[in-house]
Structure 1
């Protein structure tokens, strides 16, 4: 079963971390990638740009309207994800807890129900 593990960033919280804590998060991702690659559970991972570099498009009355910024007005934003292929939801949750960001913010675990 495939699961999407989403990472969310709150810039205000991130700003309170020491350089050592930030570096531990970065290094932790390297270790996590090694773990899920060696176990064969890695499908994909991506880091995403901040909302200020995002374009949100909505079509109203047949006209595309574009705005800069994310869809959801919030301090926190989706900053990256992992897709893992695991035996169970329990394993997906176990892996999500190993992502270093989970010490500071939530990691969401969502089952992939369709792939194109």
Structure 2
């Protein structure tokens, strides 16, 4: 089964040097996931200051600057993995550096056969 590991945290907690170290450590985690046959994809996201939110109401697009939710923790990146069950997905999520200062949400993917590969 596929799982999305959504990494949330306060993007202002890390210095630029700490962020670069986190990217390096995350790359090593991705390599470990790949060696175990779990890795499907991963990427950090740019700052929430670069985000736009889009809503359609009454047939009109409403575009606002920033993320959808104003929260203490923002979505900062993700891993997409393959794991046999939720327990294994949670075990893998514990290896993600962002779990030490933020939160990693583990969500099963709904696999639609109608989507292109």
- TM-score range (shorter-chain normalised) is 0.7 to 0.9
Q: Could you say what the CA RMSD is over the residues aligned between the two structures, in angstroms?
A: 1.8
Which deviates further from its counterpart, 3-12 or 95-104? 3-12
TM-score (norm 2): 0.85
Q: Which residue, 100, 108, 115 being the options, matches 2:105?
A: 108
CA contact (8 A) 1:9 1:105 kept: yes
Structure with the higher helix share, 1 or 2: 1
Question: What number of residue pairs does the alignment pair up?
Answer: 113
In the TM superposition, 1:55-70 aligns within 5 A as 55-70=52-67
The unaligned stretches of length 5 or more in structure 1 are none
- Partner of 2:69, secondary structure, is coil
1:95 CA drift (Å) = 0.5
1:27 CA drift (Å) = 2.6
Aligned to 1:32: 29
Aligned to 1:87: 84
The unaligned stretches of length 5 or more in structure 2 are none
| C-alpha distance in structure 1 between counterparts of 2:36 and 2:48, whole Å | 33
TM-score (norm 1): 0.86
